[in-house]
């Protein structure tokens, strides 16, 4: 009889211990699921911050052309910040479209070293703003940019570099 009581108490204790163990395991899994969800949110926020940081860095080191006046009929085109690769310069027509036979190609343009003197188109003038040149170029990472040179009252103005996309031969690393 005593052994029956001992076995009964042991079975009850084993059952309680198993029940508490199962409850502990369920609570631990739920806690781990919450931690995993929070970690996923943190990782998503970190990815966003990394992307913003890369964009900021790209904007700080991107090649950028500027214009400076040199005479009443011409201006200097100067590169700042970084090397520009595969630079293509087109004169534009009166509606801002590239004129194919006016293309000039520069394989590499170094910042603050190469300056090109460009003349204002003789057939256009007046006080209206009009596009006169389009510049297409790549940075050292293969990103393609464009800038537009406009004139108004025989003064040259240039837009900020606009990101066009990746070059066809660029390998994107993920």
CA 115, CA 65: separation in Å to the nearest integer? 10
Q: Which two tokens stand for residue 142?
A: 């293969």
CA 110, CA 137: separation in Å to the nearest integer? 12
Q: Which pLDDT score is estimated for 87?
A: 93
* Residue keyed to tokens 């059952």: 15
Secondary structure (3-state) at 106: strand
Mean pLDDT, rounded, for 68-96:
88
Q: Which pLDDT score is estimated for 169?
A: 43
Q: Is the pLDDT of residue 168 over 60?
A: no
Lowest pLDDT segment from 5-9, 12-16, 125-129, 155-159 = 125-129
State the pLDDT confidence band at 166, using cuts at 50, 70 and 90. low
CATH architecture type of domain 62-166: Sandwich (2.60)
- What kind and span of H or E run contains 13? helix 2-61
Mean pLDDT, rounded, for 67-84:
88
CA 54, CA 75: separation in Å to the nearest integer? 34
Mean pLDDT, rounded, for 37-50:
94
N- to C-terminal Cα separation, the chain: 72
**85: which strand partners?**
108, 138
CA 135, CA 147: separation in Å to the nearest integer? 5
Which of 24-28, 119-123, 169-173 is the most confident on average?
Answer: 24-28
Secondary structure (3-state) at 135: strand
Mean pLDDT, rounded, for 52-65:
83
* Per-residue pLDDT tens over the stretch 98-132: 888 888 888 998 888 878 888 887 766 666 778 88
Considering only residues 173 and 138, tell me which one the structure prediction assigns the higher pLDDT: 138
């Amino acid at each position: 009889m005593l052994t029956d009581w001992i076995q009964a108490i042991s079975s009850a204790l084993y059952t309680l211990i198993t029940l508490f163990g199962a409850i502990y395991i369920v609570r631990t899994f739920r806690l781990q699921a919450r931690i995993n969800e929070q970690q996923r949110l943190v990782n998503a926020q970190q990815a966003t911050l990394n992307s913003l940081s890369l964009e900021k860095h790209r904007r700080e080191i991107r090649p950028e052309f500027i214009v400076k006046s040199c005479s009443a009929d011409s201006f200097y085109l100067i590169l700042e910040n970084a090397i520009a690769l595969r630079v293509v310069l087109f004169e534009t027509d009166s509606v801002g479209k590239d004129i194919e036979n006016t293309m000039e190609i520069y394989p590499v343009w170094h910042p603050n070293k190469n300056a090109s003197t460009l003349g204002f188109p003789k057939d256009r003038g007046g006080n209206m703003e009009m596009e006169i040149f389009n510049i297409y170029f790549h940075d050292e990472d293969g990103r393609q940019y464009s800038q537009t040179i406009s004139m108004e009252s025989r003064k040259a103005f240039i837009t900020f570099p606009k990101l066009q996309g990746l070059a066809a031969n660029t390998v994107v690393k993920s």
